[in-house]
Structure 1
Amino acid sequence: MSQHYDVLIVGAGQAGAQVAGELLDAGYPGTVGIVGAEDIPPYERPPLSKRYLSGEVSADALLFRAADRWAADGAELLLGTEVVEVDPTAHVVTTSGDYQLGYGRLVWAAGGHARALPVPGADLTGVHYVRTLEDADRLKAQLPSAQRAVVIGGGFIGLEAAAAFAKAGMEVTVVEAMDRLLGRATSPMVSEFFAQAHRSHKVDVILGHGVAEITGAEGTVRGVTLSNGREISADLVVVGVGLVPNIEPLVQAGAACTNGVDVDEFGRTALPDVFAAGDCANFANTHTRQARTRLESVQNAVEQGRTVARTILGLEHPAPPIPWFWSNQYDIKFKTMGVLTGYDTSVVRGDPSSGRFSVVYLLDGVVIAVDTLNNVRDYAQAKALINSQALVEPAVVADPAVQLKDLVAKKPAHVA
């Protein structure tokens, strides 16, 4: 064993940086190591498909802290390193270079990798995934010479990339195998709104058809063939069909893993002294009726990172906050509060054709989530309403003249 850390953090993304930052800022007296697969200090990833791709921010602006700042604050960075094995009995991890690191407590915040598209031609030059800074740099380098882009996958990353391409004057096609965009993230009403928004910017949105092949010449992409036989010319292709959690070493070590690695309300896994946080963590969600949830968002990574750090520090834990998420596309500022999984009623507030409206989701008469589109007031008031567990009437919620905050004082669902 070459080195030992009181806390060893595997993963240099939002969750890993949050754990480390919380420990250092609290004056944690032990040694802290951060293992990162990339050769760059911990940095923000959401801007890669937004402001970084469009050139609004630099790579340096993405860093949580400069490399020398991490060292000065008391954390050692081990970059360009991957952990391939965890021995929970010996409290040792082994890296891809066959280097062993000991730990007192291990925090697994390794996130995930982009799901590969299993079709011929997926390895051609000009086919891109946007998960890392290197991915984004490779894509940015091709943008000046590209005229036609195909985005495979109608999730947030794909749509944000499509919006950036359209704003740059490219001919853009979005291909989504499901019958609507954002099918796993929002309701049909919001899906249709985004489809129309992209079409209004001359983006060709194709729904209900998958990709059969990515075609090329001399090793470089030239087009995409759909499952119905249609051929679309392309200079570049962006694939955004989901994320696969990086949990294999924990699976092999015997951790309980379903969709990600299972953690309790304190971020603890089934392995002794091993925690997990961020995109790879499947946690007990108190805000839905599902037993467990894995969320891919900055807010979730921050809160889970904070929870793990507080557990290590022996501090009390506040009640878990309501999850939220945001996405900017064109002039649309989309923000959602809560988790809409399992709703039985959706209520539209406002006129979608105006570009400013909200969709409120209820389960048994209780608001569980709110999607807002260019509606700052509803978003600001949604948290208190969801927390109140108030019983509300859909017809009242639908009236945009009624503010959501005025519904908070109504009778809670648990009161007889």
Structure 2
Amino acid sequence: MSETGIVVVGAGQAGLQAAASLREAGYGGLLTMIGDEPSLPYQRPPLSKAYLAGKVDATGLFLRAPGFYADHGIACETSVEAVAIDRAARRVRLSDGRDLGYDHLVLATGSRNRPLPVPGTELAGVYQLRSIADADRIQAAIGEARSIAIVGAGFIGLEFASICAARGLSVTVIEAADRPMARAVSEPIATFFREVHESAGIRFLFGGGVQAIEGWAGRAASIVLSDGATCPADLVLIGIGVLPNQDLAAEAGLHVEDGIVVDSVLLTDDPSISAIGDCARFPTRFAAHGTARVESVQNAIDHGRCLAARITGRPAPYDAVPWFWSDQGGHKLQMVGLPGPSDVSVRRATAGGFTVFRYRGPHLTGIETVDSAAEHMAARRIIARGLSPTQDEAADPTFDLKALAMGRGGA
């Protein structure tokens, strides 16, 4: 490669992993990361968990020590955005007016919070949680809040609800679906966590939306629900999902479809541009329709490693097993695979919690565990190998899941 080197747009988990893995794999050219936040790359999942709970400070979120970048010859540009790509000239225009040339461009642009399209979201006291700055603003506001409303019963909303309830605050969660985490987990998992949260004093309002957020003197005061009822709230967290940051790619003429479309080795339709992490839609045998866009630390890390291997001469199709986790109400939820909402659920008890197996016909599509770390590790191997114990075997607490995972059968 020439002296223009590799430019990584995005300084999150995927972008940093790509840069670090390139150096580990022996890439010796110029390597530049572009990040739009003032901070060095940091972990986002703890923002709604340990960081807001006060168990870790900002320095504890850093993905690498500050000296790592200079030590490894990685130029980490902060507080600047990539605003345009000139594919013909292989150059990226930055928000400060500079142009960077590239031999290869890596789009690790991540995702952004989905906006709530109702009046009142501009009021003081209305928040979304995506960055350290967001978390700091929310942390400062919690101490003054009397009533908290969370719009959206997804992972971030429920993790935040757990933290607030543990402080003895009044918390209401508003969800358009009929159960929490409806798009992500099975009915048995959703029911369990609903009961956990309700026992902690959290109130749920299911099956309705939000008409508006009403305020007083410029601050949020209540939420108007779709049926006209109101819910008091002087702190509102909006957590209704995310959208991929694909505009930069789309404006450059790359194929986008709820994500930047890539092939099995994470290349876009331009052989000089790759996309990885939350923003990328990639082919996978684990998805019902053959492609997926996965928002997880695991996917970001494995994408970064796969990309680095390809660029340094060891190409291999991306085939990592998708897995996720969430900490809520003192319980650990872990998930493997990409089951669909209509997949059949089979539950069995474990020593510390329980496991739910998801089936589409006879085929096992995913495994969810609550407080069952050993079963989760076995689940990763089972899904990776494409194994499908029968539904009767899955329901049998004496069936040895670990033995099956290790290739010894499950009897």
**Do they fold alike, i.e. is TM over 0.5?**
yes
Give the aligned partner of residue 182 of structure 1: 181
Give the whole-Å Cα distance in 2 for the aligned partners of 1:134 and 1:247: 23
Any conservation in 2 of the 1:390–1:410 contact (CA below 8 Å)?
A: no
Give the aligned partner of residue 392 of structure 1: 389
Moved more, 309-318 or 208-217: 309-318
Give the aligned partner of residue 36 of structure 1: 35
How far apart are residue 206 of structure 1 and its match? 0.8
Give the whole-Å Cα distance in 2 for the aligned partners of 1:383 and 1:152: 32
Residues 285-296 of structure 1: matches in 2 within 5 Å? 285-296=284-295
How far apart are residue 291 of structure 1 and its match? 2.1
Which 5+ residue runs of structure 1 have no aligned equivalent? Answer: 412-416
Shift in CA distance, 272/386, structure 1 to aligned 2, threshold 3 Å: closer
Give the aligned partner of residue 139 of structure 2: 140
Any conservation in 1 of the 2:265–2:315 contact (CA below 8 Å)?
A: no
How far apart are residue 343 of structure 1 and its match? 6.3
Give the aligned partner of residue 354 of structure 2: 357
Give the whole-Å Cα distance in 1 for the aligned partners of 2:309 and 2:114: 32
Give the aligned partner of residue 378 of structure 2: 381
1:66 aligns with 2:35: no
Which 5+ residue runs of structure 2 have no aligned equivalent? Answer: none
Render the CA deviation track for 1:17-49: whole Å, top value 9, x for unaligned. Answer: 100111122332100101000011111111111
Give the aligned partner of residue 239 of structure 2: 240
Secondary structure of 1:315's partner? Answer: coil
Render the CA deviation track for 1:62-113: whole Å, top value 9, x for unaligned. Answer: 1112333312210111111111111111101112223211111000001011
Q: Matched residues, percent identical?
A: 38
Give the aligned partner of residue 164 of structure 2: 165
Give the aligned partner of residue 324 of structure 1: 323
Give the whole-Å Cα distance in 2 for the aligned partners of 1:62 and 1:336: 23
How far apart are residue 135 of structure 1 and its match? 0.6
Render the CA deviation track for 1:333-362: whole Å, top value 9, x for unaligned. Answer: 1001111127643211128xx981110012
Give the aligned partner of residue 19 of structure 2: 20
Any conservation in 1 of the 2:352–2:372 contact (CA below 8 Å)?
A: no
How far apart are residue 267 of structure 1 and its match? 1.1
Shift in CA distance, 410/369, structure 1 to aligned 2, threshold 3 Å: farther
* Letter of the structure 2 residue corresponding to residue 248 of structure 1: D
* Letter of the structure 1 residue corresponding to residue 397 of structure 2: P
* Letter of the structure 2 residue corresponding to residue 202 of structure 1: G
TM-score relative to the length of structure 2: 0.95
Give the aligned partner of residue 196 of structure 2: 197
Give the whole-Å Cα distance in 2 for the aligned partners of 1:33 and 1:346: 46
Secondary structure of 2:250's partner? Answer: helix
- Give the count of matched residue pairs: 408
Secondary structure of 1:279's partner? Answer: helix
Give the whole-Å Cα distance in 1 for the aligned partners of 2:213 and 2:188: 31
How far apart are residue 212 of structure 1 and its match? 0.7
How far apart are residue 410 of structure 1 and its match? 8.6
Give the whole-Å Cα distance in 2 for the aligned partners of 1:333 and 1:342: 21
Give the aligned partner of residue 100 of structure 2: 101
Shift in CA distance, 273/332, structure 1 to aligned 2, threshold 3 Å: same
Any conservation in 2 of the 1:38–1:81 contact (CA below 8 Å)?
A: yes
Any conservation in 2 of the 1:225–1:232 contact (CA below 8 Å)?
A: yes
Say what the alpha-carbon RMSD is for the aligned residues: 2.0
1:369 aligns with 2:372: no
Give the whole-Å Cα distance in 1 for the aligned partners of 2:14 and 2:250: 20
Give the aligned partner of residue 126 of structure 2: 127
Give the whole-Å Cα distance in 1 for the aligned partners of 2:352 and 2:382: 23
Secondary structure of 2:348's partner? Answer: strand
TM-score relative to the length of structure 1: 0.94
